[in-house]
Amino acid sequence: MKTKLITNISQLLLITLVAGLFAGCAVTRPISDVALGAGGAYLGHELSNGDPLATAAGAAGGVILSEGLHYAAKKQSDKAYAAGYDKGKSDAVKQQYWLYVALQKQRNQVANVRLYPVQLPEQRIDGVTFQPSTKLLRIEE
């Protein structure tokens, strides 16, 4: 009887595993919950000599273990995502910085600069009198 039960459970777990591999990542959580719940129920059943309460407790323990593993994996995945996001922001800022530096280098290499004198007359602005002067107007081409 025990060997037939073990064979049936093994076949069920194998079919569940194969179905999970074909289904992809979207259904791994329910499949692992079922598989670990079934494994816990089997262990509870075998260790307690068929006590229904121990079988149910084993199943619940398997599901709790499965959920705990999924929680830990998601937490690790979220941590890795946040680290990658921060690295990406940092790289984008560095890229902008070096683009700005390159623009400044191009700007400082002026091919032709001319200075034109401009005569400023005496003027009064807000009660302050400015004397006539000559300023140079810089033109870059």
Do the beta carbons of residue 136 and residue 117 sit within 8 Å? Answer: yes
| pTM for this entry | 0.48
What confidence score (pLDDT) does residue 25 get? 62
3-state secondary structure of 20: helix
What pLDDT is stored for residue 112 in this prediction? 81
Nearest to 20 by CA among 32, 12, 10: 32
**String of DSSP letters for 36-104:** HHHHHHHHHHHHTTS-HHHHHHHHHHHHHHHHHHHHHHHHHHHHHHHHHHHHHHHHHHHHHHHHHHHHH
Cα separation values, 115 from 111, 126, 131, 137, 138, Å: 14, 30, 22, 5, 5
pLDDT in tens, the chain (141 residues): 677 778 878 877 777 766 666 655 666 778 788 888 888 888 888 888 888 898 999 989 988 988 898 899 889 999 999 998 888 888 888 999 999 888 888 776 667 888 999 999 999 999 999 999 999 998 877
- Give pLDDT, residue 26: 61
CA nearest 115: which of 95, 92, 134? 134
DSSP state of 115: E
pLDDT at 20: 61
What is the pLDDT at residue 22? 61
Rounded to the nearest angstrom, the gap between the alpha carbon of residue 110 and the centroid of all alpha carbons in its chain is 44
Per-residue pLDDT at 121: 93
